[in-house]
Structure 1
């Protein structure tokens, strides 16, 4: 499990991106890059990193489910994810 501070930092970045999304789009459309530079760094969506919603793990993230591969495997094995069955052939 990731440190709580890292998870909190990522949530804070997410909130900043949402807050400044409209303003960033407006400034980009105008081509006003000086004003764009004055916005907070963490307001840029490029600075976000996908993390597992349950554990905060940064690697092995599955976009479709929003969780890491390790958590996915545990939940799928326990039958907690509907429609997912273990492959057999």
Structure 2
């Protein structure tokens, strides 16, 4: 189980990313449309003035059950060992256990 403080920090980042998503997208479109270098710098300053944690790149995928940050499967939103336990317990239909 991950530390609760790390999970809460990640939730805060997700909320900030949702809040500033449209602003990021509109400023990026403006930069690509404008040819003047000075205007691009002004828009870039606006982008840099936004909070760092509002960027989508700062988000980390975490396990839905345990909060583990590594070895996550996007389709199930679970970490590897939780996924394996659920497959062995036949809780995920359609998955195949491979053994050799």
If the length of structure 2 is used for normalisation, what is the TM-score?
Answer: 0.82
Number of positions where the alignment pairs a residue of Structure 1 with one of Structure 2: 89
For 1:61 and 1:87, locate their aligned partners in 2 and report how far apart those are by CA, in whole Å.
19
Shift of 1:87: 2.6
Please state whether the residue corresponding to 2:14 is helix, strand or coil: helix
Instruction: State the match for 1:24 in structure 2.
Output: 24
Structure 2: runs of 5 or more not aligned:
32-42
Runs of 4+ in 1 over 3 A off after TM superposition: none
Number of the residue aligned with 1:49: 60
- Which residue of the other structure, out of 53, 56, 60, is the alignment partner of 2:71? 60
**By how many angstroms is 1:85 displaced?**
2.8
After TM superposition, give the deviation of residue 11 of structure 1 in Å.
Answer: 1.1
Which has the larger share of helix?
Answer: 2
Distance 1:49 1:71 in 2: 18
TM-score by structure 1 length?
A: 0.92
Deviation for aligned residue 1:88: 5.1
| Greater Cα radius of gyration, structure 1 or 2 | 2
